Structure 1
Amino acid sequence: MEVLDNSVMIYLSTRVRFTACAVAASLMLLTACSSADGENEADGASPSSMQSSSPTTTVPSEKKATAQAQAVLAAFRAGSLLEAGAERVTDGIHTEPTLSKGKTYKLNLMCVGSGSGQLSFAPESAGEKTAVPCDQSVVQQRITYDGPVRINVDAVKGASGVIAWQIDVA
């Protein structure tokens, strides 16, 4: 475990990686089974005459990456869930949870893909600016601010993939 200012980067244990791989394998099997259901035989088209388009080939990988990231973050849940989600790294995360006075919150982020994102808060006193690498590591940050706070993760140039987050009431 490596401590950087107030953020802690935890690299995935073998157990968590195994769980993520099992989820990913299940999704691939479901995708393979649903796409080989014989629909092409009914209209006389052969699989080799079908054209594939880019959007349909990227969607399953985004779904797979999203499921993987969310499964891993679920293993890091501490306390009750306040808010969670997943976005493309290029779209970024832009959320404004209202935090209660006297409570501590834990933000967990995981990015699957390439490159990295940049975590920031408004007001800046709510948390530390931190890099979020898209290497499947989990970045954690404690938030102790009370009131509305804006949490942003913006892609660093050239980054791609999916980033998932969850905010827990500790």
Structure 2
Amino acid sequence: MFARISFPFLSFFSISIIAVFLPGCSARIQVLPEPVVEQTVLRSGPVCPGSWFCSQGRPGSLNFKGILNNKTGEKPLFIEYYMSSFEESFPIGISIKLDQTWHNLRKTSTDFGDTVRVVSIVPPELTDKVLNAKEIQFSFSSRDNTTTVHLSSSNSDQLKSLLKDLKEKLDSQAKLTITNH
């Protein structure tokens, strides 16, 4: 009733495939080199002064970043500021005013894309000052101008809370032990 069609090359092809890949299915132990984990990065949620809608990386948002350097055990903190790529000329830096004292933060990197991200290091002695400040202002400078934002009490409290939580999580991170067996 039905005609059977034979494909002799197909059976040869199937056997060839099995013969080639069968040795790969042996029980030998494979050695796969893994990259060394050099750092662990933690990021806080964002604060968007003067905005109802806030998300990570949104122009005008601020957040903190902490890094555990697995080689040295150092745990530096950074502040990241995002702005529209069309908003400003070349970024120069970030400053933060705590109560009546301005602190210029050393810029560590600038990333250009849909948004511009300016990253500055927060010195360890400054974190306690941020947590205890009654009034916080944030300032961003470019080659053309300087923009200063006075954080509302709710934004200040949110910024302090994010910094405190990130610092606690970063401090609880242990240096990873990488062993070769």
TM-score between the two structures when normalised by the length of structure 1: 0.28
- Where relative contact order (Cα < 8 A, 6+ residues apart) is larger, the structure is 1
Which one has the bigger strand percentage?
A: 1
Larger Rg: 1 or 2?
Answer: 2
